[in-house]
Amino acid sequence: SFQNDSVVAGGGAIEMELSKYLRDYSRTIPGKQQLLIGAYAKALEIIPRQLCDNAGFDATNILNKLRAKHAQVG
């Protein structure tokens, strides 16, 4: 177990912000487009998830923290 799992801006930040934007946008449109854009938003989170895995962190925990931080910013 690692001592420090704080979240800092860097690798994966852009992908998380794009994912948030696309997820929010997908909720405003009807039909299959909503599902497609939502799936693309989820796919963007693969990059920060893989970075967490490579660093030995719990990816689910870190991604939840990242989502919360991106929601606070706007």
Per-residue pLDDT reduced to its tens digit, 6-51: 656 677 888 988 999 999 999 999 999 999 999 999 999 999 899 9
1 inside domain: no
Q: Is 2 domain-assigned? A: no
CATH of the domain at 61: 1.10.560.10
**Mean pLDDT value of segment 37-66:** 90
Q: Residue 20: what pLDDT? A: 92
Number of domains in the chain: 1
Position 8 scores a pLDDT of 61
Q: What is the pLDDT of residue 12?
A: 82
- Rounded CA-CA distance 66/47 in Å is 13
Per-residue pLDDT, 11: 76
The one-letter amino acid code at 16 reads M
For the whole model, what pTM was predicted?
Answer: 0.74
Containing domain of residue 22, as a range? 7-70
Helix then strand then coil, % of the chain, to nearest 5: 70, 0, 30
